[in-house]
Structure 1
Amino acid sequence: MSKIKISVIPGDGIGQEVVPETLKVLDTLAEIHGGVSFQYETHPWSCEYYLEHGIMMPTDGMARLHQTDAIYLGAVGNPKLVPDHVSLWGLLIKIRRECEQVINIRPAQYIEGVTSPLAEPNNFDFIVVRENSEGEYSEVGGRIHSGEDAIAIQNAVFTRKATERTIRYAFELAQKRKGRVTSATKSNGIVHSMPFWDEVFQEVANTYPEIETESNHIDALAAFFVSKPQHFDVVVASNLFGDILTDLGAAIMGSIGIAPAANINLNGKYPSMFEPVHGSAPDIIGKGIANPIGQLWTAKMMLDHLGFEELGSMLFRAIKETIGEGIKTRDLGGSANMKEVIDHIIGKLRLYSK
């Protein structure tokens, strides 16, 4: 039997409610499979932990994460308690950087039963591959002077190594999907980093002659996500552009509450991390109405990454059928609470196994 060790970080807000319940779904899948078991090490690292200890995670926290196969994260942040830049850089971004999670992937697709704001969603199904380690989110820069003479400098850093591995990952992914890669650029306005990005993209594209390619400026691409989302398959983007596009992808699905994400380590030295796109939603904490779909779709991505694609497909089928039958939370126009949605999904998984 395969024993998979998972670091569980419920985090803040609704993460503390949703994550423990979704572990029941993973356990049901393990029971159905019979050849795998999930062992959880749960960490209370959060803004509340910060208020008590002065840090978002203990000094040996990273070493403990490194000893597991995957990291399953809920939500990070509660600006009423801790400034966002403290909570994010002390936990989420720290894990991404120190576990060398250099790729971020976020799928977006039309799901029957979720009302898209698009008049004609046309069953879109695409995935955004985002560079996750540098680019516009580098820490290079600083401030000098004050008052009317104040200057803030933020340097975007693009290395060939990171740029090429991100783009190559997108092409490898496209080979398993519909065979099209779209590059997000802005080389008509950002005159150094984006032409460099375009050059690397073309070099990589030349080694995948069977893959259809195109390059769109980020402003036009954002518009195309709305006007023709069905056109896209795999979209590859820099750190900032990918961040923006993936929130737009969640929006055209109909709710950021269903959107998942994966932070991928490529070298196998450290675990990858899986998290929903939504935040901690402090306005609905304790009400039991949080939407668990984003967290469950995240679990599906984790299962796929760990090599249990059959279980991941089974889970996603149960998610889509549950939504399609109208069992959904209020944010999706339903009347079910979080536990009712999860129980329905578990029931479907058990039905599949009979």
Structure 2
Amino acid sequence: MHTYRIAAIPGDGIGKEVVPAALEVLDAVAALHGGIAFRYDAFPWSCDYYLAHGKMMPDDGLRTLRDYDAIFLGAVGDPARVPDHVSLWGLLIAIRREFEQAINLRPAKLFRGLESPLRRPNDFDFVVVRENSEGEYSEIGGRIHKGADELAVQSAIFTRRGTEQAIRYAFELAGKRRGRVTSATKSNGIVHSMPFWDQVFREVGAEHPDIAASSAHVDALAAFLVTKPETFDVIVGSNLFGDILTDIGAAIMGGIGIAPAANLNVNGKYPSMFEPVHGSAPEIAGLGIANPIGQIWTAKLMLDHLGHQDMGAHLLQVVEDVTEAGLKTRDLGGSAPTLEVSREIVRRLQR
């Protein structure tokens, strides 16, 4: 029996509800398959922690987290009390950057039993590989002057190491899926970084002649995700482009509450972090109606990363069995509370 040590950070808002629900599901699937178990240490780092201590996590927080096998995060943000740039850069982005989580992975697929807002959604199943450490989200820049002469400068940083790592990961992932990679670019308008991105994409593509590779300008690609999402397999994009495209992916699935994400460290030096896309949703926090599927699907990505793809595939199949049976939270057009959905998944696993 191998026991994984997981740092659980429920965070803010509905994170405090969906993380415990997902951990129950994770324990159930581990018990069913056998061979592994999980030990969770919970950390109260959040906007509440910030208001009490003046920081989103302790000064030794990163040192504490680095010895865990994975980090399981719920949500960060309470903009009515703490500015987003303070909460995100003080916790989420600090972990991503310090632990070299250079790949952000976000799948999107049409679940059985869920209704997409698309008129003809067909049967899409794609993954967006997002460069997660640099690009448009660099910290380089600043503001000078006041009044009519005020000036803001924000510099995007694209290194060969970061760009190539994301693109190479996308090609390798496509080799395990349906063998197609689409690059999100904008080289007709961004004249330095995007032609560089395109060059690296061509170079890495030449090393994978068995993978069908193509590029699309990100604005057209956004439209294609609405009009023909079933044509995509793996999409690779910069930090900003990947961020935007994955929210489209979440929306066409039927709701952002089911969308998962993984922040992957690919060099083995630090733990990876797993978090759903839905955010803290403060407007419904504490009501017991949050959708737990995004957090549970995120647990599936964690199982995959830890080498237990069979457990992850089984878990996702059971989640789809539940949605197909019509048990849905309010955001998906149903009326089931959070725990009714998560515990039905547990019940079906145990059965």
TM-score range, shorter chain: over 0.9
Aligned to 1:349: 349
2:123 paired with 1:113: no
Counterpart code for 1:346? V
Q: What CA distance in whole angstroms lies between the structure 2 residues aligned with 1:3 and 1:343? A: 23
Counterpart code for 1:59? D
Q: What CA distance in whole angstroms lies between the structure 2 residues aligned with 1:28 and 1:44? A: 24
Aligned to 1:275: 275
Q: What CA distance in whole angstroms lies between the structure 2 residues aligned with 1:212 and 1:253? A: 25
- Deviations along 1:88-114, whole A, 9 cap, x unmatched? 000000000001000001000111221
Aligned to 1:253: 253
Aligned to 2:83: 83
Q: Note the C-alpha offset of 1:33.
A: 2.3
2:150 paired with 1:132: no
Counterpart code for 2:201? F
Q: What CA distance in whole angstroms lies between the structure 2 residues aligned with 1:285 and 1:220? A: 36
Moved more, 183-192 or 331-340: 331-340
Give the structure-2-normalised TM-score.
0.99
Aligned to 2:195: 195
Moved more, 17-26 or 163-172: 17-26
Identity %: 67
Which runs of structure 2 are paired with 1:36-185 in the superposition (5 Å)? Answer: 36-185=36-185
- Deviations along 1:253-289, whole A, 9 cap, x unmatched? 1100000000000110100000000011111111111
Q: Note the C-alpha offset of 1:17.
A: 1.1
Q: What CA distance in whole angstroms lies between the structure 2 residues aligned with 1:346 and 1:23? A: 10
Counterpart code for 1:111? F
Gaps of 5+ in 1: none
Aligned to 1:236: 236
Q: What CA distance in whole angstroms lies between the structure 2 residues aligned with 1:192 and 1:285? A: 43
Q: What CA distance in whole angstroms lies between the structure 2 residues aligned with 1:30 and 1:233? A: 29
Counterpart code for 2:280? S
Counterpart code for 2:160? R
Q: What CA distance in whole angstroms lies between the structure 2 residues aligned with 1:132 and 1:101? A: 7
Gaps of 5+ in 2: none
Moved more, 227-236 or 112-121: 112-121
Counterpart code for 2:188? N
Q: What CA distance in whole angstroms lies between the structure 1 residues aligned with 2:295 and 2:83? A: 24
Give the structure-1-normalised TM-score.
0.98
Higher RCO (C-alpha under 8 Å, 6+ residues apart): 2
Aligned to 1:331: 331
Q: What CA distance in whole angstroms lies between the structure 2 residues aligned with 1:6 and 1:84? A: 26
Counterpart code for 2:302? M
Q: What CA distance in whole angstroms lies between the structure 1 residues aligned with 2:78 and 2:293? A: 21
| Aligned residues: CA RMSD | 0.6
Q: Note the C-alpha offset of 1:30.
A: 2.0
Counterpart code for 2:182? T
Aligned to 1:263: 263
Q: What CA distance in whole angstroms lies between the structure 1 residues aligned with 2:138 and 2:18? A: 32
Q: What CA distance in whole angstroms lies between the structure 1 residues aligned with 2:93 and 2:309? A: 27
2:18 paired with 1:9: no
Q: What CA distance in whole angstroms lies between the structure 2 residues aligned with 1:87 and 1:280? A: 12
Q: What CA distance in whole angstroms lies between the structure 2 residues aligned with 1:331 and 1:252? A: 13
